[in-house]
Amino acid sequence: MGGPENVVRKPKPLKGEAKKLPPPLQDRLTILESQPIVSPANQDKIDPDIDRMEQTLKQIFQNCSDVVFRRVSIEGEVMGTPPVRESSDALSAKDVLESIPASAPVPAGTGFGTPAATDSDGPPWVTPPEDGRPAPDTRRPRDVLIVYVDGLLDFRHLDDMVLKPLLFDRPHPGDGATNPAEWLQLHAVPVGETRVVDTLSRAIQSILAGEAGLFVEGSDRALIASIRGWEKRSIQEPNTEQVIRGPREGFVETLRVNTSLVRRKIRTPKLKVEALNLGTLTNTDVVILYIDGVVDNQVLEEVRQRVRDIQIDGILETGYIEEFIEDCWWSPFPTLMDTERPDVVAAQLLEGRVAILVDGTPYALVAPMTFWMGLQANEDYYARSMIATAIRWLRLCFGFIALFLPSFYVALVSFQQEMVPTTFLLNVAASQEATPFPAVVEAFLMEFMFETLREAGVRLPKAVGSAISIVGALVIGQAAVQAGIVSAPMVIVVATTGIASFTIPRFSIGIAIRLLRFPLLFLAGTLGFFGITVGLIAILIHLSMLRSFGVPYFEPLAPLNGWHLRDVLIRAPRWALWKRPQTATDRNRKRLKPGQKPSPPN
């Protein structure tokens, strides 16, 4: 009752666990139970006492059945003699010597024959006896505690590169280490990626990230061995960004695999990969990619600042980060581009943009973004310029149809009938006579039903989703016409609008157009073409005012930049695109040597 409030006492172990411990260790645990563990001021330090360190870790990972504790003993010399444990069975070096008879055989490979020396960390080495027998190695085994999470590392690497060297390969003295953990890193653990940490929090974070933590007796540091090996999805072509010509690989849920895919395409040390950690509970790895000397430093610093300012308990997907760093949260248009393709990220980095990758998701974020990037496909740059330009214009036309066709039809048949040819007007009037609703209500009903079928097709299993969407649209549309709920021309208009929306390559831009279709439909039903004009002006004003990390969203059309229109309204040949877009960076604008236009030989 009178003790300090910042002292945390260790809970008593289970009775079943206490019975399984040997008497010396049980005596040690009895002493530990009556002592405080650590105070908050020292709780982030690694305890050199291996028994106390193990109990501290078990208390931290209490009820974590997937955390495994494996304890091994190393024979031989490992950076000096470990401290003698508080046990009645502990023997001094003199007792060990006196217990060995003069006629005892010398076991092979026990470290005998070492010249006399003195160790500052332990008792002096013993001079060989006068009868010529080599002196025994008085250094007792040193314990190593291995902690890892079951299912997050490769057990074959754990056995071959950690346990086998520690258990079967006799350690030998080595140079270059000042700590037992560093000695293991240099001379005992043949793992490609290892590091020594000096705080308990960093060790625990590494263990939960799928690495093995090695705590050495008598050391205030821990060795982290990166032998991750969890199950992961193989590299496949993204379903949402399929191409006819181009790479067939996409990002996966493993961060290092994704960074390697980008590194394979941009093989230069100027490609920087800055690592961050977000989420107080998830501790999610996040990286920022950019090309040094090409990226705009102001944009890069803004991206860094916005990402570092995120304070949240968990990050599970790039959508979490996007909502924190976007410029206008209430805009239907995205200010960051998302993609699953490494070639798209590489292309944007080469233009001077910044990419953000998050562990656990195949989607990457690219900033800054413009409106025209949402209407461009990566395949535009793999096809010849003439073909890519024609497809780009076709895409622009169908994007306009997806946004305005229902509104245009409603305004035409409701307010401006004189603009419709007489024959077509009579057919529309005949179809409208059998329906009880005006054209604007029909359009809302059909649009709502079409969006419902589209969403159902996405959520259903792939084997039946597309079939149900097609059959549902046909059956419901035909039944609605026959029942007189909607007219046949309205079904055709809504179906054409839905097909046109599929031509937009970026889902984030496509969903924005689909949402804006409904307010435009309402304006067309109430004000006619005047309402459509008001809605169009409002959209253009919003796009002109929108910014993405300080870059105008509608550039190079607003503000106008004629040179860069060659990669917006058209796709100029590759040899003509010798400058990087000004929307991305003002540094190192020159991408290729001018004057490389091909010409036939004379």
Query: What is the Cα–Cα distance from 353 to 366, expressed in whole angstroms?
Result: 7
Give exposure, 58-69, as e/b (b: 16+ Cβ within 10 Å): beebeeeeebbe
With a CB cutoff of 8 Å and minimum separation 6, the contacts of 572 are 385, 566
* Residue 152: predicted pLDDT: 87
Q: Is the pLDDT of residue 133 over 50?
A: no
Residue 268 sits in the same domain as residue 140: no
> Which residue did the predictor score with more confidence, 39 or 214?
214
With respect to residue 437, please indicate whether it lies within any of the assigned structural domains.
yes
> Which residue did the predictor score with more confidence, 147 or 462?
147
* Residue 389: predicted pLDDT: 93
Query: What is the Cα–Cα distance from 184 to 145, expressed in whole angstroms?
Result: 13
Q: CA-CA distances (angstroms) from residue 261 to 252, 254, 343, 346, 382?
A: 10, 11, 9, 9, 19
Other CB atoms closer than 10 Å to residue 92's CB: what's the count? 11
Q: Is the pLDDT of residue 234 over 60?
A: yes
Stated as kind and residue range, the H or E segment containing 291 is strand 284-291
Other CB atoms closer than 10 Å to residue 286's CB: what's the count? 21
Say whether 597 sits in a helix, a strand or coil. coil
Query: pLDDT confidence of 39, banded at 50, 70, 90?
Result: very low
User: Averaged over 174-185, what is the pLDDT?
Assistant: 73
* Residue 482: predicted pLDDT: 83
With a CB cutoff of 8 Å and minimum separation 6, the contacts of 492 are none
With respect to residue 58, please indicate whether it lies within any of the assigned structural domains.
yes
Q: What are residue 301's phi and psi, to 5 degrees?
A: -65, -35
- Of 203, 225, 247, which residue constitutes the final position of a domain? 225
* Residue 138: predicted pLDDT: 39
* Residue 397: predicted pLDDT: 94
* Residue 23: predicted pLDDT: 53
Tokens 């109990």, located at residue: 55
Stated as kind and residue range, the H or E segment containing 468 is helix 462-482
Residue 175 sits in the same domain as residue 79: yes
Query: What is the Cα–Cα distance from 157 to 145, expressed in whole angstroms?
Result: 17
**pLDDT-wise least confident of 304-308, 312-316, 592-596:** 592-596
Residue 359 sits in the same domain as residue 315: yes
Q: Which tokens sit at 35? A: 């002592």
Q: How many helices (H) and strands (E) does the chain have?
A: 19, 12
Q: Is the pLDDT of residue 97 over 50?
A: no
Query: What is the Cα–Cα distance from 1 to 476, expressed in whole angstroms?
Result: 75
* Closest to 229 (Cα-Cα) out of 246, 243, 209, 247: 209
Amino acid at 129: P
Say whether 509 sits in a helix, a strand or coil. helix
Q: Is the pLDDT of residue 224 over 70?
A: yes
Residue 528 burial (CB < 10 Å; 0-12/13-18/19+)?
middle
Stated as kind and residue range, the H or E segment containing 252 is none
Other CB atoms closer than 10 Å to residue 151's CB: what's the count? 12
Q: Is the pLDDT of residue 35 over 50?
A: no
Q: What are the tens digits of pLDDT across the range 545-556?
A: 999 998 999 988
Range of the structural domain that residue 365 is part of? 255-369
Q: Which residues pair with 272 in a beta bridge?
A: 290
Other CB atoms closer than 10 Å to residue 15's CB: what's the count? 7
With respect to residue 380, please indicate whether it lies within any of the assigned structural domains.
no
Q: Is the pLDDT of residue 136 over 70?
A: no
With respect to residue 6, please indicate whether it lies within any of the assigned structural domains.
no
With respect to residue 473, please indicate whether it lies within any of the assigned structural domains.
yes
User: Averaged over 125-145, what is the pLDDT?
Assistant: 54
* Residue 529: predicted pLDDT: 93
Residue 414 sits in the same domain as residue 336: no
* Residue 537: predicted pLDDT: 96
**pLDDT-wise least confident of 99-103, 395-399, 538-542:** 99-103
Residue 356 sits in the same domain as residue 391: no
Q: CA-CA distances (angstroms) from residue 581 to 137, 290, 303, 524?
A: 71, 16, 19, 38
Q: What is the crossing angle of helices 385-414 and 488-501, to 10°?
A: 150
* Residue 78: predicted pLDDT: 53
Q: What are the tens digits of pLDDT across the range 50-96?
A: 999 999 999 999 999 999 999 988 765 555 545 545 443 433 434 43
Q: Is the pLDDT of residue 174 over 60?
A: no
User: Averaged over 357-363, what is the pLDDT?
Assistant: 95
Residue 82 sits in the same domain as residue 182: yes
Query: pLDDT confidence of 125, banded at 50, 70, 90?
Result: very low
User: Averaged over 130-149, what is the pLDDT?
Assistant: 65
Q: Report which DSSP code applies to 178.
A: S
With a CB cutoff of 8 Å and minimum separation 6, the contacts of 409 are 439, 443, 489, 490, 493
How do the residues of the chain divide into helix, strand and coil, expressed in percent and rounded to 5? 45, 10, 45
Q: Is the pLDDT of residue 328 over 50?
A: yes
Residue 413 sits in the same domain as residue 473: yes
Q: What are the tens digits of pLDDT across the range 9-20?
A: 444 444 444 444
Query: What is the Cα–Cα distance from 142 to 589, expressed in whole angstroms?
Result: 60
Residue 300 burial (CB < 10 Å; 0-12/13-18/19+)?
buried
Domain count, the chain: 3
Residue 419 burial (CB < 10 Å; 0-12/13-18/19+)?
exposed
With respect to residue 143, please indicate whether it lies within any of the assigned structural domains.
yes
With respect to residue 188, please indicate whether it lies within any of the assigned structural domains.
yes
Residue 217 sits in the same domain as residue 304: no
Residue 359 sits in the same domain as residue 402: no
Query: pLDDT confidence of 587, banded at 50, 70, 90?
Result: confident
* Residue 100: predicted pLDDT: 44
Q: Which tokens sit at 480? A: 């609605």
Residue 392 sits in the same domain as residue 525: yes
How distant is the alpha carbon of residue 277 from its chain centre? 11
Say whether 9 sits in a helix, a strand or coil. strand
With respect to residue 509, please indicate whether it lies within any of the assigned structural domains.
yes
Q: Which tokens sit at 282? A: 């998830």
Average pLDDT over all residues of the chain: 80
* Residue 171: predicted pLDDT: 58
* Residue 36: predicted pLDDT: 41
Query: What is the Cα–Cα distance from 205 to 199, expressed in whole angstroms?
Result: 10
Residue 523 sits in the same domain as residue 466: yes
Sheet holding 67-74, edge to edge: 67-74, 142-149, 212-216, 222-225, 194-197
Instruction: Confirm if 287 and 273 have CB atoms less than 8 A apart.
Output: yes
Q: Is the pLDDT of residue 123 over 50?
A: no
Sign of CA dihedral 461, 466, 469, 475: negative
* Closest to 315 (Cα-Cα) out of 276, 340, 278, 275: 278
Q: Is the pLDDT of residue 586 over 80?
A: no
Any idea what the Cα angle at residue 92 is, between residues 89 and 94, rounded to 5°?
135
Instruction: Confirm if 241 and 505 have CB atoms less than 8 A apart.
Output: yes
Other CB atoms closer than 10 Å to residue 116's CB: what's the count? 10
Which range among 169-178, 265-274, 445-454 has the greatest average pLDDT? 265-274
* Residue 127: predicted pLDDT: 41
Residue 47 sits in the same domain as residue 153: yes
Over pLDDT 70: what percentage of the chain? 78
Q: Is the pLDDT of residue 115 over 90?
A: no
Q: What are the tens digits of pLDDT across the range 510-546?
A: 999 999 999 999 999 999 999 999 999 999 999 999 9
**pLDDT-wise least confident of 127-141, 215-229, 412-426:** 127-141
